[in-house]
A and B are shown apart, each in its own frame.
Chain A
Amino acid sequence: MERLDRRLGALTATPMLVLLGLCFLAPLAVVAGFSVMPSKVFDLWHQPDFSAYAELLRQGYWKSLAWSLGMALASTLILLVLCWPLAYAMAKVYRRFTLILTIGVVMSLFVSENIRLFGWVLTLMKGGLIEGYLRHWTGTGFDGLLYNMPVIVFGLVYVYLPFMLFPLAQGISMVPDDARQAAADLGASRARILWEIDLPLAAPGIVVGCLLTFVLATGAVAESKLLGGQAVIVIADEVETAFTYGQDWPLGSALAMVLIAIVGAIAIVGVNRVDLDAIMGRRR
């Protein structure tokens, strides 16, 4: 039986491995290859040098990277605070409403991110849903809420809410009620229960939620383009510009490699700490 299992495992993994090998790992190798090519070439048959990386340091691209990481961190922390009560309620308080909320949140994910962010543009712009009606009713308006840095963080919080909410709720549902009850009976305050029971026991969910949000928000670009009006240039935007307007594939590849290295390192460390079989509900 075991030998058969081993053979079938390798066999059934083959289609996926072929797909990811040819269309995920190979393109990444090409990016890595281009990142060490001299400036502005379009094929890989040149003497490798590291001029693109040197250019990257000289041109101050670290600012965009710092903005991306900073805004991703801010939105992750905001989401953790915002989603905690909701995730707690989904796992322990709501009864039928958990299903309604789950379906509602998942369905919002199926609407193209563009359309949802465009909706926020219509809501927040001067003469938009909020400002327009405020002026209509009170006679005084304001300048609209778009095109600044905080609104980009707002957009990130909006778009990545489901990626924090669901792992958190899954994590909190793993906290046994008995442990909280026992702590309360022994006289622990609410804050103490949160700190010493809920947070440590729900840690796998917290780790997955924070990782997903942070990693996705670091690579996000639509929020800064549509809502932020490029008040802040994010790193993914710089990558895109280097490829399209700049026509400098090596520079774009070097920028992409930096982003990939950061995101990849965080993802790999995180994924290694979490037991996938346990989270996804293995029974055996």
Chain B
Amino acid sequence: MEPSRLSRAGLLLYGILTLGFLYLPLVAVGFASVSKARYLSFPIRRYDTGWYAEAMASDTVRDLLLISLKVAGLVTVISMIVGFFGALAFARYQWRFRGLFQKLILLPIFFPQTVLGLALLMWFNALGVVPSWHTAVVAHLVWISPIATLIIAIRAYSFDPTLEEAARDMGCSTLQILREITIPLLMPGVISAGLFAFLLSWGNFPLSLFTTGADSTLPEWLYAKMVAGYSPLVPTVGVLSVVASAVLLAVALLAPTLVRLWRRNAAD
């Protein structure tokens, strides 16, 4: 049943084409961002990086970046904490309503985000809360902390509960067990959940649309300019936003290697 060389090569080609398909639109945005013309048309005749200089100098872009950064930062921290405890309840402890809890957590992930954003808007209105970037943090959390929980839960499933039991038999309190065993063991899961949380919040549009009030995040601004009043800054700011998340991802992937190298050098 081993696949033939030909079908192996065919499948490899198919995989590479799929990746190409996924990234083709970003290539188009990249080209558009360095076109000199105000009204874009391919093939691009004159290349220019002027839009980047303009985007960097623009106060609007700076404000958008700042708000997106504040929202994503808060969402990351809170969803790591909520997700950590949620994952223990999801995967580790055998309690009465565990099955129900697992299903409840999946619902917000399945839920249409536009409708969720509108529902929250009505809820904030009923409570008398004026929407701003703070309320957007809440909206993002409803969708992102369940995802963080699932990511940490995968780690919690492979966790040996006898370690905790042994510590308890030796006389550790619940808090000590948490600090000395549970947190260190789940840490890799918590860190990847934090990374997912930041990146998903950074790129999210449908939830922000109705819940930021007068404030605006990067994806919201991009969308507003795409559907009405096109600005040549759209591709440029789009590329900048993608580059920012790519840099963060690269740092996160390389960090463990760098720390190891640094430790080895320090030990020598």
Query: Which A182-232 residues have C-beta < 8 A from chain B?
Result: 184, 211-212, 215-216, 218-222, 225-226
Hey, which chain B residues are within 8 Å of A57, CB to CB? none
| Inter-subunit contact A123/B28 (CB<8 Å) | yes
| Inter-subunit contact A239/B241 (CB<8 Å) | no
Smallest distance from the beta carbon of A153 to chain B beta carbons, Å?
15
How far apart are the CA atoms of A24 and B203 in the complex, in Å?
Answer: 21
CB-contact partner of B204 in A17, A20, A23, A112, under 8 A: A112
| Inter-subunit contact A105/B157 (CB<8 Å) | no
| Inter-subunit contact B206/A27 (CB<8 Å) | no
Smallest distance from the beta carbon of B16 to chain A beta carbons, Å?
9
| Inter-subunit contact B42/A129 (CB<8 Å) | yes
Query: Which B222-241 residues have C-beta < 8 A from chain A?
Result: 222-223, 226-227, 234-235, 238, 241
| Inter-subunit contact B94/A123 (CB<8 Å) | no
A128-B28 in contact given A8-B88, A93-B3, A161-B22 (Cβ < 8 Å) = yes
Closest A residue, CB atoms, query B165: A1
| Inter-subunit contact B29/A122 (CB<8 Å) | yes
CB-contact partner of B107 in A9, A24, A114, under 8 A: A24
How far apart are the CA atoms of A113 and B41 in the complex, in Å?
Answer: 22
CB-contact partner of A267 in B97, B107, B125, under 8 A: B107
Closest A residue, CB atoms, query B159: A283
A243-B91 in contact given A12-B86, A219-B113 (Cβ < 8 Å) = no
| Inter-subunit contact B238/A16 (CB<8 Å) | no
CB-contact partner of B86 in A16, A26, A268, under 8 A: A16
Among B96, B114, B204, B241: residue with most chain A CB under 10 A: B114
Query: Which A1-47 residues have C-beta < 8 A from chain B?
Result: 1-2, 5-10, 12-17, 19-20, 23-24, 26-28, 30-31, 34, 42-44
| Inter-subunit contact A43/B126 (CB<8 Å) | yes
| Inter-subunit contact B245/A110 (CB<8 Å) | yes
Closest B residue, CB atoms, query A162: B22
How far apart are the CA atoms of A27 and B122 in the complex, in Å?
Answer: 7
* Interface membership of chain B positions 190-230, coded 1 if the CB is closer than 8 angstroms to chain A and 0 otherwise: 00000000011011111000100000001100110011000
Hey, which chain A residues are within 8 Å of B27, CB to CB? 119, 129
The verdict on A111 contacting chain B, using a C-beta distance below 8 Å, is: yes
Query: Which A249-269 residues have C-beta < 8 A from chain B?
Result: 249, 252-253, 256, 259-260, 263-264, 267-268
CB-contact partner of B227 in A113, A161, A226, A239, under 8 A: A226
| Inter-subunit contact A112/B119 (CB<8 Å) | no
The verdict on B115 contacting chain A, using a C-beta distance below 8 Å, is: yes
How far apart are the CA atoms of A26 and B142 in the complex, in Å?
Answer: 12
Closest A residue, CB atoms, query B160: A283
Hey, which chain A residues are within 8 Å of B262, CB to CB? none
| Inter-subunit contact B110/A263 (CB<8 Å) | yes
Hey, which chain A residues are within 8 Å of B91, CB to CB? 277, 280, 282
A31-B122 in contact given A89-B11, A219-B113 (Cβ < 8 Å) = yes
Closest B residue, CB atoms, query A13: B89
CB-contact partner of B82 in A16, A26, A111, under 8 A: A16
A259-B112 in contact given A107-B249, A117-B25, A280-B157 (Cβ < 8 Å) = yes
Smallest distance from the beta carbon of B90 to chain A beta carbons, Å?
8
| Inter-subunit contact A219/B114 (CB<8 Å) | yes
How many residues on B have C-beta within 8 angstroms of the other chain's C-beta atoms?
99
| Inter-subunit contact B142/A24 (CB<8 Å) | yes
| Inter-subunit contact B122/A215 (CB<8 Å) | no
The verdict on A50 contacting chain B, using a C-beta distance below 8 Å, is: no
| Inter-subunit contact A6/B21 (CB<8 Å) | no
A129-B28 in contact given A10-B95, A20-B108, A115-B241 (Cβ < 8 Å) = yes
Hey, which chain B residues are within 8 Å of A132, CB to CB? 41-43
The verdict on B149 contacting chain A, using a C-beta distance below 8 Å, is: yes
A-B pairs, top 9 by smallest CB distance, nearest first, are A119-B25, A219-B112, A9-B95, A132-B42, A9-B93, A13-B89, A112-B203, A27-B123, A27-B119
User: Chain A: residues with CB nearer than 8 A to chain B?
Assistant: 1-2, 5-10, 12-17, 19-20, 23-24, 26-28, 30-31, 34, 42-44, 85-86, 88-90, 93-94, 97, 101, 104-105, 107-108, 110-123, 127-129, 131-133, 136, 158, 161, 177, 180-181, 184, 211-212, 215-216, 218-222, 225-226, 236, 239-240, 243, 249, 252-253, 256, 259-260, 263-264, 267-268, 271-272, 276-277, 280-284
Give 17 pairs: A residue, B residue, CB < 8 Å, sorted on A: A6-B95, A9-B93, A16-B85, A23-B141, A24-B107, A30-B123, A31-B122, A89-B12, A112-B205, A112-B222, A113-B203, A116-B26, A119-B26, A219-B112, A221-B114, A222-B223, A276-B102
